[in-house]
Structure 1
Amino acid sequence: MKKMYRIKKNEEFQHVFKKGKSFANRQLVIYFVRNNQYNHFRIGLSVSKKIGNAVVRNRIKRYLRQTFLELKEEIDPAFDMVIIARIPTKDMEYHGIKKSLMHVLSKTELLKRYQKTK
């Protein structure tokens, strides 16, 4: 995933937390806020030290980034998102994390196939 798709600055994370909405399941929490400043979505990943050592945390982030790369065409481009991994993700493989992320995204209607028509 290219760096232009990432949220890196603390101020940007705080903006998403304070102004955005959130949804969660047992493994992941997603915060999202509309951002019309960019013509693509941006993501920020947060994996706590409680989950495991650096190897485990980086693996989880890699899996999440890969899932977003695969779903890039299906995600509404006008949003900034922050994904927080919860403790159960440390024992999950790629397909489990992908399924969990798709579940949370479908609850938020950020995936185009799940958006309600008005």
Structure 2
Amino acid sequence: MCGHRCATASFEDRSPCPFPGWVCSGRPNCARPVWELSMGQQRRLDLAMVLAARPHVLLLDEPTNHLSIALGDELTDALAATDAAVVVATHDRQMQQDLAPWPRSDLDR
């Protein structure tokens, strides 16, 4: 499995990263086994695997953590284009602004 949480993975920990551009940001060492990726890269891989599976529902808690600004923008674009129902919990002001047209529920403590 990739990282610790990726239920959709169909490759071994020692397999090369299947999303090298998105996970490794174009670095030349993207042929490294998944277990050698940094925790941030493993989390990006987890997210990429989930998005590639085209789920019906996405529940995302702080999805832009460990992402560069450019990758956060790409994620927002992907979320806007998906047919899935999406629930996002985020403190990321840029993502909140980008998703402002979406229905919103402010939860009290």
TM-score (norm 2): 0.32
Identify the structure with bigger relative contact order (alpha carbons < 8 Å, sequence gap 6+): 1
Report which of the two has the higher share of helix. Answer: 1
Decide which structure has the larger Cα Rg and report it.
Answer: 2
